[in-house]
Structure 1
Amino acid sequence: MDTQPRIFSAFFILLPVLFTLRPVLGLTECHFPALFNFGDSNSDTGGLSAAFGQAPPPNGESYFGAPAGRYSDGRLIVDFIGGVFKDLLPKEDYFPRALYTFDIGQNDLTSGYFSGLTTDEVIASIPDILNKFTIAVQNIYWQGGRSFWIHNTGPFGCLPYVLDRLLVKAAEVDPVGCATPFNDVAQQFNRKLKETVDQLRNDFPLAAFTYVDIYSAKYSLIHQARKYGFDHPLRACCGYGGTYNYNQQVGCGGTIVVNGTDIMVTSCQNPSTRINWDGVHYTQAANKWVFDQIVNGALSDPPIPLKRACHREAH
């Protein structure tokens, strides 16, 4: 009998944290029959493709051999959490026993900048974004959900599509090449998100909330890329032109005319050594590396491993 969880992904936009590790001993492993994911395209396994058309080749090339709804060369973090399965519809009794994952923030914050908001205006939008997140969690709770695994947002000031499209001063670039103002906003969002999760714990003491510091994992990977077997941490693997191998006008899998010839935008020679896939999303190799850092609870509050995420924090 298949005992692995099924992944059900919902795509939507919801307009450094240090933890004191407390030993979590004697907790049994949880048996989640399903995993329901809510998040942007960093964790979307097909919602965006279903709504707007399949992600084109070379997406999916490193694992599936063809596009599989994901904006990456292969699997996402959520895939490593649950695996890939054939069953599409959950059984009714899955809902209270499932793991609910959230991966939010990047689209909400960057869309503000791209629409012309100042940094102060983007920061001012954070409470509204988190209010919508709270409402979403509340609705899931009232439908029976009890186990929540919540990722904070990553260092979007290190992403090619942000570095290419938004202007920063030389003094605002850190030693890695990331834009400090945008990463500062990401960290402000994450501090407020953690406060929101703490409040949810108080409001819903019967539920288990695990806050996961994705930011620290991703920034560490970018900052020490060579140490972990990666190169060109700020350049897209699948892209075309410019400092960051990213072109807003033509994305991964698109076609560009060069000297009168149609050229398909394809992937780099070895995606397994690259962190960024298409300027926006991470490669399968980077997603797997991040998953390996978070699965044991080392970057979680409380420090509970993924397999024990059904357990509430002891007070």
Structure 2
Amino acid sequence: MLLSHDITILSPALALEDCEFPAIFNFGDSNSDTGGLAASLILPPPPYGETYFHMPAGRFSDGRLIIDFLAKSLGHPFLSAYLDSLGANFSHGANFATGSSTIRLPNRILPAPGGYSPFTLTIQYSQFLQLKNRSQLIRHRGGIFASLMPKEEYFSKALYTFDIGQNDLGEGFFDNQTLQEVNASVPDIMSKFSTNIKKIYDFGARSFWIHNTGPIGCLPYVLATYPSAQKDEVGCAKSYNEVAQHFNHKLRVAIVQLRKDLPLATFTYVDVYSVKYSLYKEPKRYGFELPLVACCGYGGKYNFNSSAECGGTVEVNGSQIFVGSCKRPSARVNWDGIHYTEAAAKFVFDKISTGAFSDPPFPLKQACHRNLD
């Protein structure tokens, strides 16, 4: 007994048992949307979904997302979007994420031009609350829908995943705010994020897996929109990435505070920024090419034009040209100028699931354990 106790102290990760996560509840934006925006407002057209699903599947990618690989690794089916009323199965969780979602209430709402999703993090929390309450009524009522609902005990045992905030920064950029003004908005964004985390905690959540935001300055839609922005050594827009890094620093500080405020919960801060940036820094090492160029797009250095988006058409010399995908999406990092390819998503998941980019450094399957420090 004494020996095993010593091992626990010296090497906690080796001695920890894998967690039982019977369900996943995901909150976020298009980085993890498995069909919410498609079911409610905007359906991604072909060639979205071509790599894995061979048809549009509600994801803003050519195939699967990080959340899809995460669900599979925990032995669960793909998460159904909460907003999807057709064929949804919530027995192992639900996905509240929608493309273009923000933490704060945006200035413009879809379908207005340049608008963002009406389903902010606060709305996603309200939807979670609805699911939690109504699902148990349906289970108790019995009938054909009972088995499609999560069991009551799943809500305290589930993994709660978050990937949101990129659009809060993007809205500032595209609203002609200075980078300093966008930075100045981050404390309020964090305040609203923490408030929602606490409300979700109050309804039973205990294990939180929270992604930071990626290198937004490496995305073709930013590079094409701000061509005069100073570039770093790999060609990304330096100042825009610095805003993302500022956001991530404040997110980490917020999580430290949440650990103090909610000592019964576990919070894993996941550094997806570093993993994604490695794809731009050393693409060939990982089997990728042209990381700053969109696979599905049209025109210019970055193959991105906001008026000729993936799946749309563009007029060239009097003819309508379909805006399709590149020959090998599996060798590309960026899919449509904003979102990542399935190949990049799998690369990121494989890295972050080990715990090497997490604080505390526990792998995904041990994310219910609190740091022993």
TM above 0.5, yes or no, is yes
State the shift of 1:167 in Å: 4.4
Q: Say if 1:273 and 1:285, in contact at 8 Å, map to a contact too.
A: yes
Spell out the pairing of 1:192-271 with structure 2 (5 A cutoff). 192-271=250-329
Q: 1:87 aligns to what?
A: 89
Post-superposition CA distance 1:101-124 (Å, at most 9, x none): 111221111110100100110000
Equivalent positions of 1:43-82 (< 5 A) are: 43-82=32-71
1:138-177 aligned within 5 A: 138-169=198-229, 172-177=230-235
Contact 1:23 1:303 in 2 (8 A): no
Q: How far apart, in 2, do the equivalents of 1:308 and 1:37 lie? A: 18
Q: How far apart are the structure 1 equivalents of 2:55 and 2:19?
A: 33
| Residue number in structure 2 paired with 1:35 | 24
Find the residue that maps to 2:172 and give its secondary structure: helix
Post-superposition offset of 1:50? 1.7
Deviation at 1:23, TM superposition (A): 5.2
Give the TM-score normalised by the residue count of structure 1: 0.90
Partner SS state of residue 269, structure 2: strand
Deviation sequence 1:48-106 (CA, Å, 0-9, x none): 21221311111111001111110000000011000344623433322111111111221
Partner of 1:112: 172
CA distance in 2, matches of 1:94, 1:217: 31
Structure-2 separation of matches of 1:39 and 1:114: 20
- After superposition, give the CA deviation of every residue in 1:229-271 in whole Å (9 maximum; x if it has no partner): 1000000000000110001112111111222222111110000
SS at match of 1:234: coil
Residue aligning to 1:137: 197
**SS of aligned partner of 1:25:** helix
**Residue 168 of structure 1: how far off its partner (Å):** 3.2
Greater helix content: 2
Q: Distance in 2 between matches of 1:23 and 1:159?
A: 38
Amino acid in the other structure paired with 1:87: N
CA–CA distance in 2 between the matches of 1:50 and 1:166?
32
- Kept in 1, the 8 Å contact 2:12–2:372? The answer is no
Mark the runs of 5 or more structure 2 residues left unpaired by the alignment: 1-10, 79-87, 91-148
SS at match of 1:256: strand
Question: Does residue 125 of structure 2 align to residue 125 of structure 1?
Answer: no
Contiguous gaps of at least 5 residues in structure 1: 1-21
Say if 1:23 and 1:97 are closer, same or farther in 2 by CA, change over 3 A: closer
Structure 2 residue corresponding to 1:300, chosen from 336, 358, 361: 358
Deviation at 1:166, TM superposition (A): 2.3
Distance 1:91 1:280 in 2: 36
Deviation at 1:224, TM superposition (A): 0.3
Match of 1:311 in 2: 369
- Give the AA of the match of 1:64: F
Q: Secondary structure at the match of 1:148?
A: strand
2:89 maps to amino acid: D
Q: Aligned letter for 1:285?
A: A
Distance in structure 2 (CA, Å) of the matches to 1:167 and 1:134: 35
Q: Partners in 1 of 2:280 and 2:339 — Cα distance?
A: 13
Partners in 1 of 2:197 and 2:171 — Cα distance?
22
Structure 1, residues 101-148: CA drift from partner, whole Å, max 9, x if none?
111221111110100100110000001111111011111100100000
Q: Secondary structure at the match of 1:277?
A: coil
1:165-199 CA distance string (max 9 Å, x none) = 12434xx2112110110111111111110000011
1:288 is aligned to 2:330 = no
Number of residue-to-residue matches in the alignment: 292
Instruction: Name which of structure 1's ranges 86-95 and 71-80 shifts more when overlaid on structure 2.
Output: 86-95
